[in-house]
């Protein structure tokens, strides 16, 4: 810039009005962006309070109105862009945990889909520094720090009060809006939980100790262990529990175990987060131990919890795999499963899966994986299916049921049952292929619904109001959390099904799998078996969480849970 240009800028700055005009323009831009991305009076209020608070924070440092507004706007715009990009990839907006817990998988994935991101980031940083210097030169406004501090404090109190009065609901990050207000609310909740005893419930101390875990070669099954396949049957429950719903002939066969019994799995999610039950059945622990942070359980557990079913199976010589129907970066799933003992996750990107595939797609992938990996070591395959996932107001793959006859007046209910029928047919075909192609191999297959579908609540309680259903879910009424689990076997007789209770809390499913497979239990699962027997199949629900908190402490003292 020439000397003449510098002189002109100094002359404009002497009156102070350029800074005022710039600050006003930046504030107007920010208000427009807030109204473009925030919906609802509550979200708008929190976001506007955040905008004022940010400006006050920067004003305390730089005292220049335009520069403070530019810095605030840059931060808000950056948050919105990052959150929108994250939503496109993982279907969730940004939360404060993205700052506190840096997920290497997410960063690696981000760099892979945007290889020029590093260059763009560096260029943007240089540009921002240059702009800040220019604004500092132009802007000569000066705001008293006492006024700034007072206004900022009032706004901060308002943010904290509102965020605690109306905490972020689990479904909100999936809506793709309110990027700033949701981020701020998650920050308040995260810091509040951390300051009130941490993110993980456990007793301060217990008198007993568990025995050390056995060495890798100490697992000695009585016979040749079977291959183990677990099938997560998305949003599936036995709709016969809902009165007045018509079902096709033979519907109930899908929920029968090899011994002819029908069993219920009490999940910790009602029509929502699959990863709650994923966490339950891989670690044998409760998501409820994480309190208000349970929504982020897989991210919090990644690298911190090294106990669970895959770890136990690896000690018995198993090779462990998951076929995951989303990106591995989703909620830190890849990192979580690795620390839980999964040798290899094959995600949707590697499989070439679309948004929703028939269950047969994943079963075919499982068959190919088994053929490729089978050898001297037994295999553990964790297979996710998604065909039953919402929404049910549109017909999914009508070509798969050309002869379908409508059974129920409610279109969503009928579509849900139709999809369950497809799922049951695909599963039967999968079993028949295993029997036909591998007559000399033995298999233990454990299927389970990860949670009832979102339409289940009104179906199982048709005479209840929405408010009564909401209270029932808040009070953990088992009717709204009951899915199913079933145990099948091919060329194999389950060794022990005594723990397979008619009603079982989801964290106990790893115990059932090991007992049915005839595998020796390590000290942690032996202790959990005693809890199951004392609590009659309940885990966190037993003694209002006391048994779970005691067990968590035992695992911490054993070094299997760290960092909480």
What is the SS3 string spanning 352-412?
CCCCCCCHHHHHHHHHHHHHHHCCCCCEEEEEEECCCCCCCCCCCCHHHCCCCCCCCCCHH
Q: What is the tens place of the pLDDT at every residue in 148-181?
A: 888 888 888 988 888 888 776 666 777 778 888 8
pLDDT value of residue 228: 98
Token pair, residue 509, equals 């499913």
pLDDT value of residue 4: 46
Please tell me the least confidently modeled range out of 110-114, 293-297, 450-454, 551-555.
110-114
Residue 395 burial by CB count (10 A; 0-12/13-18/19+): exposed, middle or buried? middle
Contacts 24+ apart (CB under 8 A), 60-64: 60/145, 60/148, 60/149, 60/152, 62/136, 63/141, 63/142, 63/143, 63/145, 64/19, 64/135, 64/136, 64/139, 64/140, 64/141, 64/142
The whole-model pTM stands at: 0.79
Q: What is the tens place of the pLDDT at every residue in 230-258?
A: 999 999 999 999 999 999 999 999 999 99
pLDDT value of residue 308: 93
Of the pLDDT bands very low, low, confident and very high (cuts 50, 70, 90), residue 29 is confident
Please tell me the least confidently modeled range out of 185-194, 345-354, 447-456, 494-503.
185-194
* Residue-range domains of the chain with CATH: 3-195 (no CATH), 223-519 (3.40.720.10)
Q: Is the model more confident about 201 or about 274?
A: 274
**How far apart are alpha carbons 341 and 344 in whole angstroms?**
9
Of the pLDDT bands very low, low, confident and very high (cuts 50, 70, 90), residue 290 is confident
Q: What is the tens place of the pLDDT at every residue in 368-415?
A: 999 999 998 999 999 999 999 889 999 999 999 999 999 999 999 999
pLDDT value of residue 359: 96
pLDDT value of residue 13: 46
Of the pLDDT bands very low, low, confident and very high (cuts 50, 70, 90), residue 214 is low
Express as a percent the part of the chain with pLDDT over 70: 84
Q: What is the tens place of the pLDDT at every residue in 503-516?
A: 999 999 999 999 99
Residue 447 burial by CB count (10 A; 0-12/13-18/19+): exposed, middle or buried? buried
pLDDT of 116 > 60? The answer is no
- Mean per-residue pLDDT of the chain: 85
H helix runs in 91-214, sequence order: 97-100, 104-113, 117-138, 145-165, 179-195
Quick one: CA torsion of 392, 395, 399, 401, rounded to 10 degrees? 50
Q: Is the model more confident about 193 or about 42?
A: 42
Please name which of 170, 197, 199, 196 lies closest in space to residue 182, comparing C-alpha atoms. 170
Give the pLDDT mean for 533-550.
95
Please name which of 322, 406, 325, 391 lies closest in space to residue 358, comparing C-alpha atoms. 325
Gap between the terminal Cα atoms of the chain: 54
443: number of CA atoms within 13 Å, CB side?
25
**How far apart are alpha carbons 319 and 240 in whole angstroms?**
37
pLDDT of 8 > 60? The answer is no
Give the pLDDT mean for 118-129.
62
pLDDT value of residue 111: 59
């Amino acid at each position: 810039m020439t000397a003449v240009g510098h002189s002109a800028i100094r002359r404009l700055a002497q009156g102070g009005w350029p800074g005022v005009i710039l600050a006003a323009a930046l504030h107007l831009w920010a208000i427009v962006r807030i109204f473009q991305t925030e919906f609802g009076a509550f979200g708008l209020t929190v976001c506007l309070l955040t905008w004022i608070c940010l400006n006050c924070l920067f004003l305390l440092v730089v005292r220049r109105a335009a520069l403070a507004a530019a810095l605030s706007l840059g931060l808000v715009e950056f948050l919105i862009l990052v959150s929108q990009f994250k939503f496109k990839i993982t279907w969730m907006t940004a939360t404060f945990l993205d700052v506190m817990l840096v997920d290497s998988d997410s960063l690696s994935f981000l760099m892979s889909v945007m290889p020029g991101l590093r260059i763009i980031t560096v260029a943007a940083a240089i540009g921002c520094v240059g702009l800040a210097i220019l604004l500092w030169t132009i802007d000569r406004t000066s705001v008293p720090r006492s006024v700034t501090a007072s206004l900022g404090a009032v706004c901060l109190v308002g943010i904290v009060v509102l965020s605690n009065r109306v905490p972020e609901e689990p479904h909100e990050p999936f809506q793709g809006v309110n990027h700033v207000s949701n981020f701020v609310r998650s920050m308040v909740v995260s810091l509040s939980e951390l300051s009130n005893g941490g993110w993980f419930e456990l007793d301060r101390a217990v008198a007993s100790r568990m025995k050390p875990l056995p060495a890798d070669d100490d697992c000695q099954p009585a016979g040749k262990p079977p291959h183990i396949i677990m099938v997560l049957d998305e949003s599936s429950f036995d709709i016969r529990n809902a009165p007045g719903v018509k079902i096709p002939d033979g519907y109930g066969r899908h929920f029968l175990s090899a011994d002819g019994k029908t069993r219920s799995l009490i999940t910790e999610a009602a029509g929502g987060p699959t990863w709650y039950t994923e966490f339950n059945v891989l670690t044998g622990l409760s998501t409820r131990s994480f309190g208000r942070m349970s929504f982020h359980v897989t991210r919090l557990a990644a690298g911190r919890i090294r106990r669970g079913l895959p770890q136990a199976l690896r000690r018995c010589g198993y090779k462990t795999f998951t076929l995951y129907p989303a990106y591995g970066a989703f909620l830190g799933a890849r990192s979580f499963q690795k620390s839980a003992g999964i040798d290899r996750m094959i995600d949707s990107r590697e499989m070439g899966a679309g948004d929703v595939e028939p269950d047969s797609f994943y079963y075919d992938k499982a068959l190919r994986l088994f053929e490729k990996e089978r050898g001297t070591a037994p295999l553990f395959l964790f297979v996710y299916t998604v065909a039953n996932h919402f929404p049910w107001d549109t017909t999914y793959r009508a070509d798969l049921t050309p002869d379908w006859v409508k059974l129920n007046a409610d279109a969503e209910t009928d579509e849900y049952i139709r999809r369950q029928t497809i799922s049951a047919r695909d599963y039967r075909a999968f079993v028949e292929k295993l029997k036909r192609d591998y007559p000399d191999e033995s298999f233990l297959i454990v299927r389970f619904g990860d949670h009832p579908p979102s339409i289940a609540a009104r179906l199982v309680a048709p005479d209840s109001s929405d408010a009564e259903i909401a209270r029932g879910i808040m009070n953990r009424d088992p009717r709204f959390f009951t899915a199913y689990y079933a145990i099948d076997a091919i060329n194999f007789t389950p060794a022990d099904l005594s723990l397979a209770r008619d009603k079982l809390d989801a964290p106990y499913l790893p115990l059932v799998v090991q007992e049915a497979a005839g595998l020796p239990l390590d000290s942690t699962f032996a202790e959990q078996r005693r809890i199951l027997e004392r609590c009659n199949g309940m885990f966190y629900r037993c003694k209002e969480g006391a048994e779970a908190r005691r067990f968590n402490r035992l695992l911490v003292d054993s070094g299997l849970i760290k960092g909480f």
